[in-house]
């Protein structure tokens, strides 16, 4: 199926909300003094203190305060917080948030003036404004890194509903959910993306989006540049869109300039899809609305983004963001009028492969397990020989080398931990199990403490004795963490 209009087929943005939970102390109870009468104006309340009442984990936390000069990244400040073991931290504060511009990190003087009718609120923000300005602003990414460094404290975000716009407040909510101490990409990756387009169209590019709409929350959709086609002298990049469910669409795009792209409609006509070369392009579906120097996603921080709007039929307005070299990262569609007005659909990028194969995986904890092949021909001696040959003249006098002609087949296995939680066990037990359940190989590996991905390789023996390969059958390669938190498995056919 070919789609002729971007928004009619996929006007799917992201609506995010932040919720605050109330933690309870279930075993605490009050006792009324037995001397109190029903008509007494005085009631004595005593709390049972024995036995001790356990508090819920993460019960305690602290509010941010903008009226001090300390930086969130100050190591001494972080050490003090670690000693307090906060379960949560609030940004930027309570009253402090009411004139706070999250995009710039500043308390805005004009917004402070609008709080004049609330003297207490006005005075607090007026006092904090020069302090925040002197620090160059209060960065949420610095605050998120602070929370991660002091034991992974949860973050409560105060949205400015007094002086900021609803649209900006929603954008902050989305940003806050994604920007949890995310590291910037390496200079090499940023350099590769900087040469790309806001709307990449190279064969092999792939994006996975989370879809939220009025009917379903959290379905997924994959976009991929499947192939190129030539028609009437023009070369088109064919973008295949699959999901949710069995849905399948194709878009045919052709590029006539670095940022000028046309969409082929079902009737064979070309329509201007976008032009982000710096000027408004009349008639384009996507109209640029601004530039963003830096954008954070769930898997990294990227430079150079452009925002756009797309009004369809005068009723549905889509607003979104595209990152140079990465493509579409998020969008939101809203019905503007009528009894059905409001949010309709949304999408947010969760994984991507772009720029000639640079892969940005979803940052989910996982035990990774791989084998050089899932079908290994041992009897035909087509598997790597791990026998130790004789490397020097007198090696026969020194133990270690195998006799000439020895065949010891073995296969390379890859074991990894990705985005593994701090403090969780990094010991991984690897086993190779025969069809009858016998464990033929058992080794525990200790992987390094990388916060993103730790990887090691081992050789798995596929023989019971020299020149005696394992019998044919379906074997299992297993990997599981020593604490039992996660495991992975592969079926390996031995021939």
List, for residues 160-207, the tens digit of each pLDDT value.
888 988 877 877 776 676 554 345 566 777 888 888 999 999 999 999
Least confidently predicted of 52-66, 178-192, 222-236, 407-421? 178-192
Cis peptide before 244 (omega within 30 of 0): yes
Please report the sign of the dihedral spanned by the C-alpha atoms of residue 225, residue 230, residue 231, residue 235.
positive
- Position of tokens 């996975």? 208
Give the C-alpha separation, 54 to 72, whole Å. 31
Query: Average pLDDT, whole number, for the chain?
Result: 81
* Residues 6+ positions from 286 with CB-CB distance below 8 Å: 6, 273, 274, 276, 308, 309, 310, 320
Give the C-alpha separation, 108 to 125, whole Å. 9
Look up residue 337 and give its two tokens.
Answer: 């009028």
Asked if residue 178 lies in contact with residue 350, where contact means CB atoms within 8 angstroms, the answer is no
Least confidently predicted of 65-79, 318-332, 350-364? 65-79
Give the C-alpha separation, 80 to 300, whole Å. 28
Q: Is the pLDDT of residue 417 over 70?
A: yes
Cα-only R_g, the chain: 30
Angle subtended at Cα 161 by Cα 59 and Cα 297, rounded to the nearest 5 degrees:
70
Cα separation of the two ends of the chain: 43
Counting beta carbons within 10 angstroms of the beta carbon of residue 434, is it exposed (0 to 12), middle (13 to 18) or buried (19 or more)? middle
Asked if residue 197 lies in contact with residue 259, where contact means CB atoms within 8 angstroms, the answer is yes
Angle subtended at Cα 110 by Cα 108 and Cα 111, rounded to the nearest 5 degrees:
65
Count CB atoms within 10 A of the CB of residue 193. Answer: 20
Residue in 168, 167, 150 with CA at minimum distance from that of residue 78 = 150
| The CATH number of domain 366-494 is 3.30.930.10 | no
Give the C-alpha separation, 401 to 403, whole Å. 7
Residue in 57, 86, 88 with CA at minimum distance from that of residue 154 = 88
Q: What is the DSSP string of 77-124?
A: HHHHHHHH--SEEEES-SGGGGGEETTTTEE-HHHHHTTTTSHHHHHH
- As annotated, the residues of the chain forming the CATH 2.60.40.1930 domain(s) are 366-494
Q: What tens digit of pLDDT does each residue of 6-18 get? A: 544 443 222 222 2
Q: Is the pLDDT of residue 24 over 60?
A: no
Strand partners, 479: 430, 488
Q: Is the pLDDT of residue 261 over 90?
A: yes
Least confidently predicted of 44-48, 207-211, 377-381, 397-401? 397-401
At residue 224, the 3 state secondary structure works out as strand
* Residues 6+ positions from 123 with CB-CB distance below 8 Å: none
Q: What tens digit of pLDDT does each residue of 435-481 get? A: 999 999 999 998 887 767 788 888 899 999 999 999 999 999 999 98
Task: Determine which helix (DSSP H) or strand (DSSP E) holds 189, and give its type and residue range.
Answer: helix 187-194
Task: Write the Ramachandran bin of 172: left for phi over 0, alpha for psi from -120 to 50, otherwise beta.
Answer: alpha
Q: What is the pLDDT of residue 82?
A: 75
Residue in 201, 213, 169, 203 with CA at minimum distance from that of residue 331 = 213
* Residues 6+ positions from 255 with CB-CB distance below 8 Å: 197, 201, 237, 261, 262
Q: What tens digit of pLDDT does each residue of 322-349 get? A: 999 999 998 989 988 777 788 888 888 8
Asked if residue 336 lies in contact with residue 454, where contact means CB atoms within 8 angstroms, the answer is no
Q: Is the pLDDT of residue 22 over 50?
A: no
Asked if residue 403 lies in contact with residue 390, where contact means CB atoms within 8 angstroms, the answer is no
Instruction: Say which CATH topology domain 185-360 has.
Output: YmcC-like fold (2.40.360)
Look up residue 214 and give its two tokens.
Answer: 């009025």
């Amino acid at each position: 199926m070919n789609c002729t209009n971007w928004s009619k087929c996929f006007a799917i943005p992201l609506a995010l909300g932040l919720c605050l939970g109330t933690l309870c102390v279930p075993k605490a109870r009050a006792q009324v003094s037995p001397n109190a009468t029903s008509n007494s104006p005085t009631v004595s309340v005593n709390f049972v203190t024995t036995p001790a009442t356990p508090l819920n984990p993460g019960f305690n936390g602290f509010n941010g305060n903008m009226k001090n000069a300390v930086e969130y990244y100050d190591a001494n400040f972080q050490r003090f917080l670690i000693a307090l073991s906060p379960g949560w931290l609030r940004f930027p504060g309570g009253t402090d948030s009411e004139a706070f511009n999250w995009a710039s990190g500043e308390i805005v003087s004009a917004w402070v003036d609008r709080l004049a009718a609330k003297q207490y609120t006005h005075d607090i923000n007026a006092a904090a404004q020069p302090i925040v300005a002197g620090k160059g602003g209060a960065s949420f990414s610095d605050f998120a890194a602070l929370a991660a460094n002091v034991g992974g404290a949860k973050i409560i975000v105060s949205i400015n509903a007094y002086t900021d716009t609803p649209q900006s407040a929603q954008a902050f909510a989305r940003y806050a959910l994604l920007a949890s101490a995310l590291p910037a990409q390496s200079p090499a990756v940023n350099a590769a993306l900087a040469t790309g387009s806001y709307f990449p169209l190279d064969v092999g590019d792939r994006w996975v989006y989370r879809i939220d709409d009025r009917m379903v929350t959290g379905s997924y959709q994959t976009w991929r540049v499947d192939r190129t086609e030539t028609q009437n002298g023009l070369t088109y990049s064919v973008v295949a869109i699959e999901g949710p469910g069995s849905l399948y669409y194709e878009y045919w795009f052709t590029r006539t300039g670095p940022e000028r792209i046309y969409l082929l409609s079902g009737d064979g006509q070309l329509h201007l899809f976008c032009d982000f070369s710096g000027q408004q392009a009349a008639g384009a579906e996507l109209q640029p609305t601004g530039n963003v120097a830096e954008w954070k996603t769930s898997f990294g921080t990227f430079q150079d983004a452009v925002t756009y709007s797309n009004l369809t039929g005068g009723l549905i307005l889509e607003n979104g963001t595209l990152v140079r070299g990465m493509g579409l990262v998020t969008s939101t569609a809203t019905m503007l009028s009528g009894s059905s007005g409001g949010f309709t659909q949304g999408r947010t990028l969760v994984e991507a492969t772009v720029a000639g194969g640079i892969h940005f995986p979803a940052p989910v904890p996982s035990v990774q397990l791989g084998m050089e092949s899932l079908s290994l021909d041992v009897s035909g001696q087509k598997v790597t020989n791990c026998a130790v040959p004789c490397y020097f003249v007198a090696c026969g006098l020194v133990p270690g080398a195998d006799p000439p002609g020895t065949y010891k087949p073995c296969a390379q296995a890859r074991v990894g931990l990705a985005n593994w939680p701090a403090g969780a066990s990094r010991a991984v037990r690897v086993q190779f199990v025969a069809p009858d359940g016998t464990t033929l190989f058992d080794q525990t590996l200790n992987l390094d403490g990388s916060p993103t991905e730790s990887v090691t390789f081992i050789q798995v023996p596929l023989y019971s004795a020299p020149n005696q390969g394992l019998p044919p059958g379906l074997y299992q390669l297993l990997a599981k963490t020593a604490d039992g938190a996660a495991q992975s498995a592969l079926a390996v056919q031995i021939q």
